[in-house]
Structure 1
Amino acid sequence: MTQNSNDEMTHFGFQSVRASEKAARVREIFDSVASRYDVMNDLMSGGVHRIWKDAFVSWLDPRPGRQYLDVAGGTGDIAFRILRSAARQPTGGQPPATVTVCDINEEMLRVGRDRAMDHALSDGLSWVVGDAQALPLPDRSVDAYTIAFGLRNVTRIEDAIADARRVLRPGGKMMILEFSKVVIPVFDRLYDLYSFKALPLMGRFVAGDEDAYRYLVESIRRFPPQDELARKMEEAGFRQVQYRNLTGGIAAMHVGWRL
């Protein structure tokens, strides 16, 4: 008798949990930290996450007239950058770019909508609750798909990559920004020490949730390294897959094309 896929075991940080339970556990974490999420990003990275996101959107090269989908982007960091970057380009008679922000967590989306109003960036944005593994969008409906620091939280990475390809139009591209494997000797050990000791303490005192940031560190260690993620993209049908390391591989950007 074949075991139901929802009863299979998967990882939640360093824990083993049923696949059917992981999404709810991830949702609980982001419900807990949503209001302090952006502050914690600045503290944890010393503001470097902003440089990474700028580099990510620069490589994306947003243009007017295109439809973008930002998955797991609830607080709007990537979506805002896409709209601002596209608005700086000549229009060529094209309408402004649009971005759909899709996140499984309603609380994160609420924070993003509030931030969009604060920054007068509501035009061109839409917000939708949805699972990266089964996006609530039609086939071939967007020109580019982005996911930043969200892919490691899905239950099945392969399903999320496959659904990204489904919603992309031919010629569209998927871009991933994610924590990755440090490639500089000695630096990797220092990074481990900082991650396992300092980040949970920051989570306790700033976000009020030490366990959430312990999960963050563990989920990074369980995420596929650069070459393995590139292979997963190729196996899903993406072509011309490339990646670029950031800050010695603490993070990496991957891109692949639906041809």
Structure 2
Amino acid sequence: MTGSSDVRHFDIFAGFYDLFMPKADPDVLSRGLALAEHEGTTGLDVGGGTGRAARAIPDMDWTVVDASGGMLAEAAAAGIPGVRGDAARLPVVDESVEAVTIVDALHHIGRSREAIAEAVRVLAPGGVLVIREFDPTTIRGRALVAGEHLIGFDSTFFGPDELAGMLDDAGLQVSVPERGFGYTVAGVKPQ
């Protein structure tokens, strides 16, 4: 999921992570997933840590990919299968999943554009990439950026329009179904 400096933090806090992070909102994720050209049954939760996003949408067959062994152990304890891996080199076959989510994690991925390209590679035609992030231009976003850097995270945040441009550059049909401090950008892979 993350650069090596961030992985260390997640390994340390894995056992407590779900106590401090709010649950992923199934309605928000469902709005993004509904943009796919067909109903999906398989999903990849990239940088999914403990499987928060996967647990929010239980009617899909999810696999979490994360660089933190501690976070993957928590996902496994919650019944979500996981694979240790790098978001910029996903250990997944081309066009093999109908949905990819990156929820509250892209800012921790050191090579964001490569991670997006990998998500596009593994998506089946008509499948959807849903990214949930924090807008660094909002008041709460600026506080989050400062807080993460203060505790030593090597985070890079993108605003919704910048992120939408990155998905467009990767060849997806892009929409921004939600804006605000927490925002969602989704992209559908053309058939």
Settle same-fold status: TM greater than 0.5: yes
CA–CA distance in structure 2, aligned partners of residues 175 and 32 of structure 1: 27
- Paired residues of 1:68 and 1:99 also in contact (CA < 8 A): yes
Deviation at 1:64, TM superposition (A): 7.4
**Alpha-carbon distance in structure 2 between the residues aligned to 1:167 and 1:54:** 23
| 1:38 Cα deviation after fit | 1.4
Larger Rg: 1
Unaligned regions of 5+ residues in structure 2, if any? Answer: none
1:186-205 to structure 2, matched below 5 A, reads: 188=139, 191=140, 195=144
Report 1 or 2 for greater relative contact order, CA contacts < 8 Å, sequence distance ≥ 6.
Answer: 2
Which 5+ residue runs of structure 1 have no aligned equivalent?
A: 1-21, 42-48, 87-96, 117-124, 201-210
Per the alignment, do residues 40 and 215 of structure 1 end up closer, same or farther by CA in structure 2, a change over 3 Å counting? farther
Is 1:254 matched with 2:191? no
Q: Which residue does 1:155 correspond to in 2?
A: 110
Question: TM-score by structure 2 length?
Answer: 0.85
Shift of 1:127: 1.3
Which amino acid is 1:237 matched to? G
2:44 matched to which residue of 1? Answer: 69
Q: Give deviations 1:142-200, integer Å, cap 9, x for gaps.
A: 011111011111111110000000000111110001111455xxxx2xx3686478xx6
Q: Output the amino acid matched with 1:232.
A: M
Q: Secondary structure at the match of 1:223?
A: coil
Q: What is residue 92 of structure 2 aligned with on the other side? A: 137
Q: CA RMSD in A?
A: 2.6
Q: What is aligned with 1:27?
A: 7
> Is 2:181 aligned against 1:244?
no
Query: Greater helix share, 1 or 2?
Result: 1
Q: What's the CA shift for 1:101?
A: 1.1
Number of aligned positions between the proteins: 186
User: Which residue, 19, 25, 29 being the options, matches 1:39?
Assistant: 19
Relative to 1, partners in 2 of residues 1:178 and 1:194: Cα closer, same or farther, differing over 3 Å? closer
- Contact 2:40–2:98 (CA<8 Å) still a contact in 1? no
Q: Could you tell me the TM-score, scaled by structure 1's length?
A: 0.64
1:80 and 2:55 matched = yes
